[in-house]
Amino acid sequence: MKRSIQLDRRAFLKGIGGAAMALPVLDAMGAEVTGQIPRRFCAIYTANGMSLPQAEHDLQDWSWFPAKGGNGDFAFGKSTEPLAPFRKQLSFLGGLYHPNGPKADPHVCSDMWLTGAPLQNPKPGAYNSAGLDQVIALHTKQYCRQPSLVLSIDAGTGYLSRTGTISYNLDGRPIPAENSPRRVFDRLFRADHASLAAEHEKLQRRIKLVDAVAESARALDGQLGATDRERMDQYMTSLDEVESRLIASERWIDIPLKKQDYSHLNLDVTNEGEPAEYYRNMFDLIALAFDADITRTVTFMLNREDGMGISDTFPLKLGLSKTHHNLSHATDKEGQLQFARYDLFLSKQIAHFLERLNGYQDRNGKVLDNTIVMFGSGASTTHNSHNLPTLIAGGANMGLKHGTYWRSEGEMRMSNVHLSILRSLGIEQESFSDSTGTLSNSIFERL
Amino acid sequence: MTLRNPRLRLGSRSAVALLVLGGMAFTARYLLGQAAAIAPVGLEASFERIVKPFFQQNCVPCHNSDMSTAGIRVDQLDGQFEDRHIPVWEAIRRRIREGSMPPRGMPQPTNAERRQMAEWIDRALEVASQRPAPKNGLVRRLTISQYRNTLRELLLLEDDLTAGLPPDAVSKDGFVNNKDTLQLSPLLTEAYFEIAEEALNRSIVDPKSKPTIQNFRVDLGTGINPAPLPEKLVLGADSMLLENPDFLVTQFKPTKPFAFEPFTMRTKYRFIEGYRGNDTVRGWREYDSIYHAVFACMRGSKGYPKGDPYNVVAEGLLLRPAIPNDEQFGADGTYGPKANFKISVRELPEDGRFRVTIMAAKYNDGLLLDAGTPPETSDGAVWKDAKTPGSVTIPKAGVYQADIYEREQKLPLADSTGLRTGLAGSWPEDTAAAGRLDAKAKLVDSPVGKAVSLSGGSDAFTVPREAIPTDDAMNVGEGDFSVAAWVHPGQLRKAGIVSLGGSERMLGWYLEMADTRGTLRFQTAGPETQANGTVSSPPGVIRANTWQHVAAVVRRGLNETRLYVNGYLVARAATGTAQFDDPKADLQLGRSPGAEALEGELAEVRLYNRPLDEGEIQALLQPGKQFVERAPERKLAVTLTLGGRQFAGALQQPAFLAVRLEAGPLAIAVTHSGARDLDRIVLTPLAAGSAVAKRFLAFERRSPRVGVHLGLRRDCGSSLAPVGAPQTVASEKLTRFVFEGAIRNFPSPSVEKDNVNYLAGVREIGVRSEYTDGRDMPRLLIRSVEFEGPYYESWPPASHRNLLADFDRKNDLPAYARKIMGSFAARAYRRPATATEEAGLMAVYQKSLDSGRGFQESIRDALLVALTSPQFLLLVEKSNTPAPEPLDDYELSSKLSYFLWNGPPDRNTLRLAAAGTLRKQLDSEVSRMVADPRFSRFLGEFTFQWLNLDKFQVLEPDRKRYPQLTRETRTQLKQEPVEFLQYLVRNNLPVRNLIQSDFLVANETVASYYDLPDKPDSGFQFVAIPHRRRELGGLLTQAAILAGLSDGRESNPVKRGAWVARKIIAEPPADPPPNVPALKEDTAGLTLRQRIEQHRNQNGCRQCHAKIDPWGVAFEEFDAGGRLKPQPVDAKSTLPDHTEIDGANGLKRYLAEDRIDQVAFSFLKHLTKYAAGRTLTYSELAYLKQDGLKLKANGYRMQDMIRYVANSKMFLEK
């Protein structure tokens, strides 16, 4: 196929840090792709739950769940205090659970956080089920360069019941996570020419094959006579849609990135160094990726269950007394306080992220207002799979109404939250995983 | 249809042609529709004259667009009398006739008006039943399962690539193959491309390359490994590995008729994360041995109810039936069954087929005798000295009972003379080595002296090491020692009694309560936290809320660490010789690492740096003599060796084993674990008629079944899926059993290659003696487990040769390509491809070639186009006119095979189609297809969908009420209706059997669930079993049906009634109206039946429920698990036609005798819809109801009905 505009991406990349060319993005993409205001999703997971101190220790102020006032109002606890400036942009959700959680080994809660799958007895051949972020990616990928971004504290997937990623593809297979800020940056913001060319070629070949299939379909159509054509029409429409997506993906390759300021990044950090510095840079990368509309769905696993991986030692690095997993098991006052202090540390990182998202602008407002951020854990504390700590921020432009601590009457399926998020993003699915409906009368107003 | 992309629009010429054709079709259809709507100009006119005024007068006020009372609107009805409105019309007619509408209190029409209305509807129905359905061909997409089957058969590829596809929608009739619900979407189309690409990548190989093949075998048997790994292997929490000398791993190079690379497993590994117990340990360690890559592993095997779950003997590994796993965390656990033997292995191929070969035999086993079996009293061979092995002479060959007698345990007299010797201290009252009270601990008086009282939390009584610095009497070092205490626990839970060691299981020793079950445990850890031995009592020896005396006497290095409760020996095991002393650790009372402190009291805690003898322990008991009770004894775990055979189990009484023995000398030996000693063994020949002998003979006839499972290891267990069906191991000679599958279809760990966790990414090959219902079964002997994969019989593999067939002019690439394309397209499209289609594929090939891709790649591109084309994905029946036309032979061959095989036609059917004789030979072709193994796909799909078995599949039964409805049992019960139908069809039995049959089709599990007296020895195989139970037989009372129509707690007559009405007698109730009023809240005390009656009596509910509930009430004798309720239940019911019946039996009799035509019609109706893949019109249903009666003469036989449908115009016309 002929292309009217040939864009030299490399020439553009040379402009980083200097004067980047302003290129006619809209013209190149066509309004159907770029005219849309992005709707984004970011899931941030912390393992082993949050500190919910026992009543006898007199540490209520340190409970992760806020103290509830009247009418959904609430007071931040000491461990979530850093999030107070975002009160109007976030909400706490209580009483959530995955019905399959209590049935399974409590260590699979990170596996099923975004899938709700029954992991106590996976089907033959199956590993998990599709994750929320990937279902979203399915619907957003044609609008951006990368279907999704999957990050974790440890690279790779980990393994079933001790997962190192919270993202599962549509087949339920784990998607290996990335953990190196430099590699993520290089891949997202400095793609190399050879891989671009290969990607071009692959997409072009696929487009040609789709054309050939259309040709084949026409051959069949010619034979159909008076046959009812409803299904054929549907087939052609689907094929057309598939081709449009391929063309859109292919065009992205040549579109220059939005000009951004990268000066605050420190790409030399690793997870072996200072935890705060590491998290800050990872969050900065996510924020930049959102701002440049490189992807619309991101998962980031901050730490891993059951003493796995490097993050287990972070509390020690921060001067706390025990490893992350051991703190989560603490039943004594000091241990529970220390666990809460780690929650405080995490709250600071989340606050930094929200601040970044507020600092970037979409055409209709702040990036955070077009992004649903879900932060939480698959266990309330010490592997208890009920009352999952859940915080949802952003998404004001998608009808989310914040500033409350919402608790369901009785228990509420986490998958109903997932479905509510999908609907808020404009993805009209009937259900998600084991959902029974959306969260009515909650923070999701536009369902 | 708007196509954004002009290149995808149908070519302009054909579009015009289409428009014209379409226009013609439209007109024709319209005209026909008009004709069909009843040349009925008459009806339309009379509608205006008769019906409309009647509606306006009597109905519309309540049944209109604003107020559709009971979900009914009449303002939409018109003289077209469309099919979709017919149920409403019929309901109106009934109500008008019986006078139930308009309701009382409203103005009523006259009788004449009623009659006129009803007659109008009668006439309209008559017209509707005659009007032909317009036929415009049929285009269906393949269902997901049809697509899967078709891909597999077309490409000879076993990998299932369709797992990620969204499930097909279900039509109103419950079928997924209805043309209207089989939608296409961009998502699906995209997936078709991905799958086709992946499938072709896997099918086509580079023939010049050499495949890599992994082949290894694990041999099993005591001491089979001459050079075992000296290190102890650990595979995570609850790791139970076979002893290193008992398994041997060998890698092979299999013999193959082609060149290949043998795969050699990696042995060098470097890991940073590993496990000790349940704790992660970090630190780089290097490994270099095949035994760090392959493990012979057991898991989840604790608590086997009868005998040891497994034993290693010289000949191999003995396995008892693998009992499905216990509940963990409130649901089926993941640790796998007991015994769960598997080969854990780091590396297996990722793709391709594999083959697991098991060498196995049925063990010449003895029957462990149940509790209550009396000892034999007559004389037999006696071995008097159970402590040493020896030999007895067996007088004559036959079945013997072995009785093993224990030696009496005598308690010595108290001896307090030396009690001051070697005493390091005695707390809390010791003033020389005083301790301190931590947290809320306090001192209290008790019947056994001053006691420490602890309330859990951080409470403890700590004796600092500095308290006795001089001789450091607490330092037990590498020596013997004893610890004793009086303890009064307030509750049983994991808590320390006395410990001397650091926290988190560091160096030291710990006497503790292990759990909430009253287990006393003594744990030790040597330097670097290496475990040095654990000694555990059976549960129940520690009791809450009473005083008891506990003591541990540790003699190092011997099998002599003994635990006593109240002076009775409760455990005996070895403690190693490690140095236990941590000079920084203090002695703690009431605390144990990783647990809350004891809640309760402790007194007279003594530490001796020498072993106490039993007389001394008796002396320590004296202060609390009044509390001393005998501790419950653990049954001895005994291993009896007779000749070369081993029999292990718990000794619950002298009567231990029934076993067949040969005459002559017999080596005899017995070992046991447990605290007490054995005395003698008595072997007595059993009289042939004795109960034990009879049970033994039945036992001896049974054969275990070996099953292979493949999957992955998890920290919390395994995910394993069966490889094919289990195979019966009937011979006592070692025999080869081969299991094959495609490795992609099994759970895999999906771990990145460079994972640095010792336990990550481990795959598992499980081998089991399969469990059915817990009956006694000779053990399965496994000698070896061999793996080969990818498994190729030839190279290139069949999948490759299937696509790139041999050709005599391979150098003539265009000719070769044309040949490949032609043959592939014909098979993929299930008919010869047209010249245009072939040219299209060739053009794809050519373009790819021109763009620089190689021959195979270009072929692949063309095949990909074929696999994503509508010719492949859609089942098309072409139509030229709206009038009915016969299917052409190729269309018929596909329709038939997707009906009866749920998959593509085979060569045979296609050949008949090509010859144009398929129609003529339709009956014989149906017979052939029914006899083919692929017919089981029809049975699975149709039965499941017709009977709504999905409801049973997703049922979550209340586990307390229905403990027998385990997952495994449900799996078998779900299969019962399918196997039942299969039996009826294969034997061409009358339809009446669906309602009433004097046999069940069951396997061991199902027969057990129904408590059948004649249980088959058929394993998982379903066989017909006659029964004489009034409540059994037929479909209706099968557990999968009745339990599936419950909520897992209570039986539900409404669901059951609606199901019978819909599925069995084809009188589907109307859909429940929107906004059904909720049942009133004030019904708490009522039974479900009463609540339903209450509901039924509400206005607006009555009409429908009167047609539903009576069918379901008849099943009230059955609980939500589908079995008879224990108490008699009132199941009398008055059916809609006013027939009085009593219970399910009455209903069955009524259906089988009075309504069998209706039952047969229901079956035919569902079958026809499934076969045709579409909804039937009113006239077709009317025709079927009438025409189907001709099958009655022969009793409506099942195969006859299938043949009837295949020959019907609903099936054959398009």
Provide, as residue numbers in chain A, all residues whose Cβ is less than 8 Å from the Cβ of B837: 216, 219-220
Provide, as residue numbers in chain B, all residues whose Cβ is less than 8 Å from the Cβ of A138: 187
Q: pLDDT category, A227, cuts 50, 70, 90?
A: confident
For tokens 């379903």, name the residue: B1022
CB contacts under 8 A, A 138-157 vs B, are 138, 155-157
pLDDT of residue B143: 97
Query: pLDDT of B942-966, one tens digit each?
Result: 999 999 998 898 888 888 889 889 8
What Cα–Cα distance (Å) separates residue B1186 from each residue in B784, B1065, B1176, B1214? 63, 15, 15, 21
Q: Nearest Cα to B303, choosing from B335, B343, B342?
A: B335
CA distance B1036 to B1039: 9
Of residues B18 and B77, the one with the higher pLDDT is B77
- The DSSP code for B1026 is E
pLDDT at B410 over 60: yes
Provide, as residue numbers in chain A, all residues whose Cβ is less than 8 Å from the Cβ of B766: none
- The DSSP code for A321 is S
Question: Residue B196: which region, alpha, beta or left (left: phi > 0; alpha: psi -120 to 50)?
Answer: alpha
| Structure tokens belonging to residue B1052 | 């539900």
Chain B interface test: which of A135, A227, A314, A325 (most B C-beta within 10 Å): A227
Alpha helices per DSSP H over B582-706:
614-621, 691-701
Provide, as residue numbers in chain A, all residues whose Cβ is less than 8 Å from the Cβ of B7: 211, 214, 243
CB contact under 8 A, A209 and B844: yes
pLDDT of residue B31: 39
CA distance B769 to A365: 65
For tokens 């906004």, name the residue: B1075
Provide, as residue numbers in chain B, all residues whose Cβ is less than 8 Å from the Cβ of A332: 457-458
**Among A83-92, B110-119, B713-722, B799-808, the range of highest mean pLDDT:** A83-92
Provide, as residue numbers in chain B, all residues whose Cβ is less than 8 Å from the Cβ of A218: 10-11, 14
Question: Residue B867: which region, alpha, beta or left (left: phi > 0; alpha: psi -120 to 50)?
Answer: alpha
Determine the Cα angle at B161 with ends B156 and B164, to 5°.
160
Q: pLDDT category, B108, cuts 50, 70, 90?
A: confident
Query: pLDDT of B858-889, one tens digit each?
Result: 999 999 999 999 999 999 999 988 889 999 99
Q: Nearest Cα to B416, choosing from B622, B639, B226?
A: B622
- The DSSP code for B1187 is H
Chain A interface test: which of B24, B181, B189, B875 (most A C-beta within 10 Å): B189
What Cα–Cα distance (Å) separates residue A82 from each residue in A302, A348, B1158? 18, 6, 71
Query: pLDDT of B579-594, one tens digit each?
Result: 888 877 888 899 876 6
**Is the Cβ of A106 closer than 8 Å to some Cβ of chain B?**
yes
CB contacts under 8 A, A 26-65 vs B, are 32
Mean pLDDT of B515-541: 82
CA distance B1000 to A120: 33
- Classify residue B583 as exposed, middle or buried by CB count within 10 Å of its CB (0-12, 13-18, 19+): exposed
For tokens 């019946």, name the residue: B1141
Instruction: Indicate if the alpha-carbon torsion angle B1016, B1022, B1024, B1026 is positive or negative.
Output: positive
Question: Mapping DSSP to helix (H, G, I), strand (E, B) and coil, where does residue B1118 land?
Answer: strand
CB contact under 8 A, B163 and A233: no
**Is the Cβ of A447 closer than 8 Å to some Cβ of chain B?**
no
pLDDT of residue A5: 25
CA distance A157 to B750: 7
Q: What is the pTM of this model?
A: 0.81
Chain B interface test: which of A127, A175, A209, A428 (most B C-beta within 10 Å): A209
CB contact under 8 A, A231 and B881: no
Instruction: Indicate if the alpha-carbon torsion angle B866, B868, B873, B878 is positive or negative.
Output: negative
A226-235, B56-65, B250-259, B921-930: which has the minimum mean pLDDT? Answer: B56-65
Given a contact cutoff of 8 angstroms between Cβ atoms, the answer to whether B88 and B63 are in contact is no
Given a contact cutoff of 8 angstroms between Cβ atoms, the answer to whether A286 and A353 are in contact is yes
Q: Nearest Cα to B329, choosing from B55, B12, B716, B592?
A: B716
Given a contact cutoff of 8 angstroms between Cβ atoms, the answer to whether A314 and A324 are in contact is yes
Mean pLDDT of B737-765: 88
**Is the Cβ of A193 closer than 8 Å to some Cβ of chain B?**
no
Query: pLDDT of B478-501, one tens digit each?
Result: 889 999 999 999 988 888 999 988
Mean pLDDT of B304-327: 88
Q: From the CA atom positions of chain B, what is the Rg in Å?
A: 38
- In chain B, whose CA is at the least distance from the CA of A102? B329
Query: pLDDT of B345-379, one tens digit each?
Result: 999 999 899 999 999 999 999 999 999 999 998 77
pLDDT at B1085 over 70: no
CB contact under 8 A, B273 and A224: no
Provide, as residue numbers in chain B, all residues whose Cβ is less than 8 Å from the Cβ of A227: 136-139, 876-879
Average pLDDT, chain B: 87
CA distance B1154 to A105: 54
Chain A interface test: which of B7, B8, B30, B838 (most A C-beta within 10 Å): B8
Mean pLDDT of A270-290: 95
pLDDT at B278 over 80: no
Determine the residue type at B762: V
pLDDT of residue A7: 29
pLDDT at A238 over 80: yes
CB contact under 8 A, A159 and B749: yes
Given a contact cutoff of 8 angstroms between Cβ atoms, the answer to whether B1006 and B1022 are in contact is yes
Question: Mapping DSSP to helix (H, G, I), strand (E, B) and coil, where does residue A96 land?
Answer: strand
Of residues B1065 and A252, the one with the higher pLDDT is B1065
Query: pLDDT of B666-706, one tens digit each?
Result: 999 999 877 778 899 999 999 989 999 999 999 999 999 99
Query: pLDDT of B178-225, one tens digit each?
Result: 998 898 888 899 999 999 999 999 999 998 999 999 999 999 999 999
> Beta strand B261-262 with B212-220: parallel, antiparallel or unpaired?
parallel
pLDDT of residue B326: 63
- In chain A, whose CA is at the least distance from the CA of B749? A159
pLDDT of residue B378: 78
CA distance A373 to A424: 12
**Is the Cβ of A272 closer than 8 Å to some Cβ of chain B?**
no
Given a contact cutoff of 8 angstroms between Cβ atoms, the answer to whether B941 and B977 are in contact is no
DSSP string for B962-1022: -TT--HHHHHHHHHHHHHHHHHHHHTT-BTHHHH--SEEEE-HHHHHHTT-SS----TT--
Q: Which helix (H) or strand (E) holds A353?
A: helix A333-359
pLDDT at B1127 over 80: yes
Q: Provide the percentage of residues in chain B whose pLDDT is more than 90.
A: 54
pLDDT at A101 over 90: no
Question: Mapping DSSP to helix (H, G, I), strand (E, B) and coil, where does residue A83 land?
Answer: helix
What Cα–Cα distance (Å) separates residue B964 from each residue in A103, A213, B768, B769, B949? 18, 53, 22, 21, 19
CB-CB: which of A105, A222, A331 is closest to B716?
Answer: A105
ipTM of this complex > 0.90? no
Determine the residue type at B840: G
Query: pLDDT of A141-197, one tens digit each?
Result: 888 888 999 999 988 888 887 888 999 988 788 888 999 999 899 889 987 777 788
Determine the Cα angle at B1176 with ends B1174 and B1181, to 5°.
155
CB contact under 8 A, A221 and B10: yes
A200-204, B602-606, B891-895: which has the minimum mean pLDDT? Answer: A200-204
Q: Provide the percentage of residues in chain A whose pLDDT is more than 90.
A: 51
Q: What is the largest CA-CA distance in chain A?
A: 80
Q: pLDDT category, B11, cuts 50, 70, 90?
A: very low
CB contact under 8 A, B139 and A130: no
CA distance A404 to A68: 9
- The DSSP code for B375 is P
pLDDT of residue B30: 38
pLDDT at B467 over 90: no
CB-CB: which of B11, B184, B329 is closest to A105?
Answer: B329
CA distance B1143 to B1117: 7
pLDDT of residue A68: 80
pLDDT of residue B1072: 61
What Cα–Cα distance (Å) separates residue B233 from each residue in B293, B296, B718, B968, B1059? 11, 10, 19, 32, 56
pLDDT at A21 over 90: no
Instruction: Indicate if the alpha-carbon torsion angle B792, B316, B302, B654 is positive or negative.
Output: positive
Q: pLDDT category, B1075, cuts 50, 70, 90?
A: low
Determine the Cα angle at A419 with ends A415 and A422, to 5°.
140
